[in-house]
Structure 1
């Protein structure tokens, strides 16, 4: 006669064994070690160093950028550039005598097709026919410079003055020309000098220059 009571017992044992095997597979390897969660690979965003408070999109490099230039004040116009030597024509105006002085206007005229400016004093030097300077450099008379804007064809003038040699008794020389250098330029313009002898040394031999003003003379 078959033993029917042992079948349910075997079935229960088999079910328990299957359940235990499933638990071991889920929780660890067959060697008894526990499998830790695998770390995720860092993305480009994770590897990028960004300043605190900034946010970088994934895949975007954190490249420093230059700050934007400050805008010009509303209504401010860019200043006109200075007149260059090649854009100007120079001449010496008619002498204006007075109180033992000889006074001449040095005139610069804008011969270019653009508007430009002059500011301050000219450079000046008397030279002989070979280009050698006669006498020391002129001195600057006290004055308050102002920027003079020259449209094409406009002129500005600066005064050149010295004591009359016949009165001062200074040693003189007769120049062939006058070198006129526009403000902030290096190249001079040579102008023929036809006004006779000028003081070059001795008493009261100083030659003075004034700042530029609009026009062609006083």
Structure 2
């Protein structure tokens, strides 16, 4: 075969195509585009589809403050007002006059309202005999099967609960001599201390149980 021939039309087109490509490259560089044809964002501007996400010093972000809800429908209740439970701090405890029975020893535990407001007591008080060191003597008293009622105490008025046990001289129970009786008002935790001057009490053995009744109006005298 003879030497290859270049067609005259291709020779004429080659310089023209090169000039067109060069012109397109110069145009892209002058318009801020990249080689892919995508537009570039100038420095210091924000794309319309991008929101600011940084929040450093000197920037302020919008905040929403929820209104504070205040309940104005519930009136305040004064502690110690009429109809409220009597607290230990409002009461004084004492031991009333004993009432001997057939082989029984009975004592009224009296709670007196020393506060300035009317209050109520209901149910059983707590009671515990203690020695001079404050150690409890004997088990906790048992509760007699009574029906509790609410007792309203105006300032200066009293309620009482019965404390009873079998006479140790008759029952033969083992005894101890208490220094005091701790009395806890119904539904309270803090006791009132009352000096015990009524002699020995049963703490173990036969018929050594001590019983308590519910509170009733008055002093039990």
Which category describes the TM-score, using the shorter chain as reference length? 0.5 to 0.7
Distance in 2 (alpha carbons) for counterparts of 1:69 and 1:204: 56
Instruction: Specify the SS of the correspondent of 2:84.
Output: coil
**2:149 counterpart (143, 146, 149):** 146
- Write the mapping of 1:1-218 to structure 2, written as runs, cut at 5 A: 80-217=83-220
Distance in 1 (alpha carbons) for counterparts of 2:90 and 2:82: 18
Distance in 2 (alpha carbons) for counterparts of 1:201 and 1:104: 20
Per-residue Cα deviation, 1:74-98 (whole angstroms, up to 9, x for no partner): xxxx971100101101000111001
Per-residue Cα deviation, 1:142-194 (whole angstroms, up to 9, x for no partner): 10000000000000000000000000000000000000000111000000000
1:39 corresponds to which residue? none
Distance in 2 (alpha carbons) for counterparts of 1:144 and 1:130: 35
Instruction: Specify the SS of the correspondent of 1:97.
Output: coil
Per-residue Cα deviation, 1:91-119 (whole angstroms, up to 9, x for no partner): 00111001100000000000000000000
Distance in 1 (alpha carbons) for counterparts of 2:159 and 2:95: 12
Distance in 1 (alpha carbons) for counterparts of 2:82 and 2:89: 20
Distance in 1 (alpha carbons) for counterparts of 2:98 and 2:177: 16
Distance in 2 (alpha carbons) for counterparts of 1:205 and 1:185: 26
Q: Give every structure 1 segment of 4 or more consecutive aligned residues whose post-TM-superposition deviation is greater than 6 Å.
A: none
Question: Which runs of 5 or more structure 2 residues have no equivalent in the other structure?
Answer: 1-66, 75-80
Q: CA RMSD, aligned part only?
A: 2.4
Distance in 2 (alpha carbons) for counterparts of 1:151 and 1:168: 41
Q: TM-score, normalised by structure 1?
A: 0.65
Instruction: Specify the SS of the correspondent of 1:216.
Output: coil
Question: Which runs of 5 or more structure 1 residues have no equivalent in the other structure?
Answer: 1-62, 71-77
Distance in 2 (alpha carbons) for counterparts of 1:164 and 1:87: 33
Contact 2:116 2:155 in 1 (8 A): yes
Instruction: Specify the SS of the correspondent of 1:134.
Output: coil
Q: TM-score, normalised by structure 2?
A: 0.64
> When the two structures are aligned, how many residues end up with a matched partner?
152
